[in-house]
Structure 1
Amino acid sequence: MKFHADPLHDFSIKAYGTDWVQLPQQRLAQSVILSSEGRQELWDCPRFEDLTAEHLLHLASTSQQAQVVLLGSGLRNRFPPPAWLRPFAQYQLGLETMDTAAACRTFNVLAGEGRKVVAALILESAPA
């Protein structure tokens, strides 16, 4: 049996905490939208409670080339109101919601498989 190294993808999350993610070239401590193709956009949504229909409309409209969109909802898995998800149906995009740590891991797995994936990660501080 011959073993082959997995090809490294160019853009991955190297490490993460509750309120930060480490990318190949920088550490971010603000909510962010990332794509497996290298898109990096700071996202003005510091907590899940601040999430609006407009945030999700922007996410859907700028992720049309993705095969799947991940929503990292912060410290725990929470779901936006169903009415806010209409843009994803209109653009025929799949949206998976999970806590941000799971979204980071899932992003790396899908990107490593060569899938076109977008992750919107809410990075919020743990309660004191």
Structure 2
Amino acid sequence: MSLTDTVRLLPWTGPEGKPCYLAGDGAGFLSRLADNMEAAQLGLAGELIDEAQQVLESRAWTPGELHLLTVQLTEALGNVHRIAVSRGARLPAPAYDDLDALDKPDEEDEEDDRLDAAQPVQRG
């Protein structure tokens, strides 16, 4: 895999709101900056979850507080989603070719399940 095959979605957008990407091996200054920004965004999202739980548990909020909370949660969720997409895109491809095989049990597994179901349960 060459450096141009490894592209990272960065945790910020360009001036027009378009996604920014970084090509490289992940060891440079911009990669470290992106790592630090992702860590900060994830930390803030965690703090916001705690704050949202406190606001909801108090059951005494104003419409303005709910609006602000919704705006902040939406922004945090967008950041976390971008981080998940970025990290997911950089994961290695699965070693198996047939993803459907994971959802379908083998015939032997089905037979074992039928045999297990036919066995009486012994209690000691």
Q: Please, what TM-score do these two structures have when normalized by structure 1?
A: 0.19
Greater strand content: 1
Greater helix content: 2
Q: Please, what TM-score do these two structures have when normalized by structure 2?
A: 0.19
* Higher relative contact order, structure no. (Cα contacts within 8 Å, ≥ 6 residues apart): 1
